[in-house]
């Protein structure tokens, strides 16, 4: 294997987990996931009165904001249904308790959107690099090294995210804090139980999301591994 080809093969190995994980994140940030998650057995009801329909309505708008081109006014303009308002103690920190989200929640959602934008740029760049390298490998006849890189990437996903999911299952609260401290400034992502973000997305929501996201990443890694291995071996046999 030529030095450059070897380097590119390992680049593919390192890129694959990034692309798969960010792809799964984007897949989860869709209405279908909310429809699924809110209907899972034992999902906690909102202690302050949101119905399933309320949760789906506002959560879908919130999810849409994270990935569309709207500014924060999409969330800032949201109001509770007639007869409802922000419950205490959250209401005492708001000038108008009919607003769905308070200022701290809105600031956090701006941060979330910014992080998501960067993540999607990285995802697009990763996919583009893998695609360009695939064409280059086919034209320059180093497909075996390309496929070998995918195989190693699949194994890397299995090992890394298997450990990550296990860590989340064993120490979710600690893991959740670490995750947020990596991407958000301290003190900007903690909220009261009466705040809308917690009512829409309680701890159970994030526990399930981390496990499902990790599980999907591992599954896709396994699929890539076996497909790449099968194609590489078939090509090797035909070349003999």
At residue 87, φ and ψ (nearest 5 deg) are -75, 160
Q: Which of 76, 121, 74, 116 is nearest to 94 (CA)?
A: 76
> Quick one: pLDDT at residue 180?
72
- The torsion angle over the Cα atoms of residues 71, 76, 80 and 86, rounded to 10 degrees, is 140
Contact 197, 188 (CB under 8 A): no
**Does residue 30 or residue 240 have the better pLDDT?**
30
Q: What whole-number distance in Å separates Cα of residue 21 and Cα of residue 49? A: 34
In whole angstroms, give the CA distance from residue 104 to residue 54. Answer: 21
Kindly state the percentage of the chain with pLDDT values over 90. Answer: 64
> What pLDDT shows up at residue 171?
73
Task: Evaluate whether 102 touches 86 at the Cβ level (below 8 Å).
Answer: yes
Q: Indicate the average pLDDT of the chain.
A: 89
CA-to-CA distance for 43 and 199, rounded, in angstroms? 12
Lowest mean pLDDT among 30-34, 63-67, 120-124, 162-166: 162-166
String of b and e for 37-46 (b: at least 16 CB within 10 Å)? Answer: beeeeeeeee
45-66: average pLDDT:
94
* DSSP H or E run through 210: helix 203-239
Residue 133 sits at φ, ψ, to 5 deg, of -65, -35
* Dihedral sign from CA coordinates of 168, 174, 180, 183: negative
pLDDT number for residue 130: 96
What is the dihedral angle through the alpha carbons of 118, 119, 121, 123, rounded to the nearest 10 degrees? 170
Q: Is 15 within 8 Å of 126 (Cβ atoms)?
A: yes
| R_g of the chain, CA atoms, integer Å | 22
Strand partners, 79: 99
pTM greater than the 0.95 cutoff: no
Q: Is a pLDDT exceeding 60 seen at residue 1?
A: no
Q: What is the dihedral of CA 176, 181, 187, 189, to 10 degrees?
A: -50
pLDDT in tens, 100-155: 999 999 999 999 999 999 999 999 999 999 999 999 998 988 899 999 999 999 99
Q: What pLDDT, on the 0 to 100 scale, is given for residue 173?
A: 73
Question: Is-contact 67 61, C-beta < 8 A?
Answer: no
Maximum mean pLDDT: which of 52-66, 73-87, 161-175, 179-193: 52-66
Q: What pLDDT score does 237 carry?
A: 64
Position 236 confidence tier, pLDDT thresholds 50, 70, 90: low
pLDDT of residue 161: 82
Which pLDDT tens digit goes with each residue over 177-201? 777 777 777 667 778 899 999 999 9
Residue 240: which pLDDT band, with cuts at 50, 70 and 90? low
């Amino acid at each position: 294997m030529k030095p450059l080809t070897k380097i590119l093969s390992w680049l593919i190995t390192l890129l694959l987990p990034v692309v798969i994980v960010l792809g799964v994140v984007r897949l989860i940030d869709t209405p279908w996931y909310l429809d699924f998650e809110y209907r899972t057995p034992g999902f906690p009801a909102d202690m302050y009165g949101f119905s399933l329909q309320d949760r789906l309505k506002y959560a879908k708008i919130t999810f849409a904001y994270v990935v569309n081109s709207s500014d924060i006014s999409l969330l800032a303009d949201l109001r509770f249904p007639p007869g409802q308002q922000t419950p205490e103690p959250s209401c005492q920190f708001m000038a108008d308790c009919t607003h769905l989200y308070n200022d701290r929640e809105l600031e956090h959602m701006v941060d979330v959107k910014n992080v998501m934008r960067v993540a999607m740029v990285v995802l697009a760049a990763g996919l583009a690099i893998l695609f360009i390298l695939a064409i280059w490998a086919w034209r320059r006849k180093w497909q075996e090294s390309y496929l070998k890189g995918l195989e190693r990437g699949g194994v890397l996903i299995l090992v890394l995210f298997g450990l990550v999911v296990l860590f989340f299952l064993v120490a979710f609260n600690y893991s959740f804090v670490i995750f947020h401290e990596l991407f958000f400034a301290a003190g900007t992502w903690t909220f009261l139980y009466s705040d809308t973000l917690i009512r829409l997305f309680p701890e159970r929501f994030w526990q399930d999301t981390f496990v499902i996201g990790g599980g999907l990443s591992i599954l896709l890694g396994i699929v890539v591994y076996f497909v790449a291995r099968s194609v590489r071996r078939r090509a090797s046999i035909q070349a003999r």
